[in-house]
Amino acid sequence: MISAVVLAAGTSSRMGEPKPLVPLGDRPLLSRVLESVHGSRVEDIVLVLGDSAARVQRELPMEGVTVVENPSYRDGMSSSLRKGIASLSPATEAFFVVLGDQPFVRSETFDALIAARRASGSRIVLPTYGGVRGNPVLLDRSLSAEADTLTGDRGCRALHERHPTETLEVPVDDPGVLIDLDTPEEVERAREILREHGPLSALVEEFARRPLEPARPPAASLPNTGARVHREGSEEAVGTLVIVGDSRVSESLSVLGRLLGFRVIVAGPDVEPRRYPSADEVMQDVGELANRLDSSSYAVVATMAAYDLRALATLLRSPVAYVGLVANRRRAASVRDALAGEGFSAETIARIQSPAGLDIRAVTPEEIGLSVAADVVMRRRSRSES
């Protein structure tokens, strides 16, 4: 069962009145939030209230909602999240963290995140709009204990940072994932948009002055000038490093690969060339790799579950020296089973190195990239010495 924890316990200090009850169009702000969740495939809703809890329950319909009060709401969002998690059904397998001041998230967005989780096995699934991370976030129930340790108002961002390889970003055509209303001025502007039937994307642009979290902050880059790092009296590439997928791990690997003297190819239908200035080549069609790979190629799949099966099938049919998969154990097992179902032999599937990289206790995407680069270098050196 998929549940939702709706956080609406704040003090509304910037709004000047209880935020859940602020009129927005023909209904209160919180009613819009709840209607969106109700319209999705979410089966269980827990609403956490704090400031003005009695009034909110008195004035808003609460059918199909489990209401819990957080007497410690002044301690920040994390205290409300703990309350909400404690009230989830035992049958809950994953739950959304829904912000009670985001009234424009579409029901379809919830459903898209649910579908992405089921397809990928990722423990953290979040939406992006225009390359910027938004809300709600869908968390696997196994992360409840970690969520309980969060403090203050930081929310789920700490979990993203702890589990980068288990976090899946899902692009959605829904500006509502970036729109939260904190002040009377913002509410009034939202009312104008509704009255004029204007695009919600206009609010995103106007609110851009507020700090937003980029889906993937650009990695430090080494511009591709055509020159290579000098290696053993030659400026020739020491091999080809093929990186499949658009992710922060991919960005870090492209920079490291260039520094280590590899010819770097980044491939994937979602790859944005501007994010990979260190790459020698960027291509959208993963299938085209089949004719570009040889025994001096080293390949890493870091799609964050988006199209890893298709990429691995292409790579395993090639003579590449190394096939690494950046994924959690559950996803790696699922991919191996799917490849077996497609007729790949156990010996061929065993070529996949997952988790990819040397065990250096890597946590961040940059550290994971470093561990994979070190593994590739070690294998290349071993081959040249044998």
What is the pLDDT, as a whole number, of residue 153? 61
Lowest mean pLDDT among 142-156, 157-171, 332-346, 365-379: 142-156
- The Cα–Cα gap between 337 and 375 comes to 25
Lowest mean pLDDT among 49-53, 100-104, 205-209: 205-209
Residue 237 binned pLDDT confidence (cut-offs 50, 70, 90): low
- For range 179-204, the mean pLDDT: 87
What is the pLDDT, as a whole number, of residue 329? 79
pLDDT at 362 over 90: no
What is the pLDDT, as a whole number, of residue 386? 61
pLDDT at 262 over 60: yes
- The Cα–Cα gap between 215 and 170 comes to 10
Nearest to 101, CA basis, from 27, 187, 39: 187
**Which tokens hold the place of 217?**
């902050």
- The Cα–Cα gap between 176 and 191 comes to 14
- The Cα–Cα gap between 307 and 128 comes to 18
What is the pLDDT, as a whole number, of residue 377? 94
Grouping H, G, I as helix, E, B as strand and the rest as coil, residue 33 is helix
Q: Helix count (H) and strand count (E) of the chain?
A: 13, 16
- For range 194-206, the mean pLDDT: 84
pLDDT at 122 over 80: yes
What is the pLDDT, as a whole number, of residue 383? 80
More confident residue, 291 or 125: 125
- The Cα–Cα gap between 38 and 133 comes to 23
pLDDT at 234 over 70: no
- For range 326-342, the mean pLDDT: 87
- The Cα–Cα gap between 10 and 80 comes to 9
61: preceding bond cis by omega (within 30 degrees)? no
pLDDT at 222 over 60: no
**Which tokens hold the place of 230?**
């000098």
- The Cα–Cα gap between 375 and 323 comes to 11
pLDDT at 216 over 90: no
What is the pLDDT, as a whole number, of residue 152? 61
What is the pLDDT, as a whole number, of residue 248? 83
What is the pLDDT, as a whole number, of residue 209? 43
- The Cα–Cα gap between 243 and 264 comes to 8
- pLDDT digits over 141-157, tens only? 999 888 887 766 656 77
Query: Environment class of residue 205 by beta-carbon count within 10 Å: exposed (0-12), middle (13-18) or buried (19+)?
Result: exposed
- For range 348-367, the mean pLDDT: 89
Instruction: Please answer whether residues 264 and 241 qualify as being in contact, where contact means their C-beta atoms are separated by less than 8 angstroms.
Output: yes
pLDDT at 382 over 80: yes
Distance of CA 11 to the CA centre of its chain: 29
β-strand partners of 69: 49
More confident residue, 174 or 150: 174
CB burial readout 309-342, b (16+ within 10 A) else e: bebbbbbbebebbbbbbbbbeebbebbbeebeee
- Domains along the chain with CATH numbers: 2-209 (3.90.550.10), 240-385 (3.40.50.720)
pLDDT at 103 over 80: yes
Prediction pTM value: 0.61
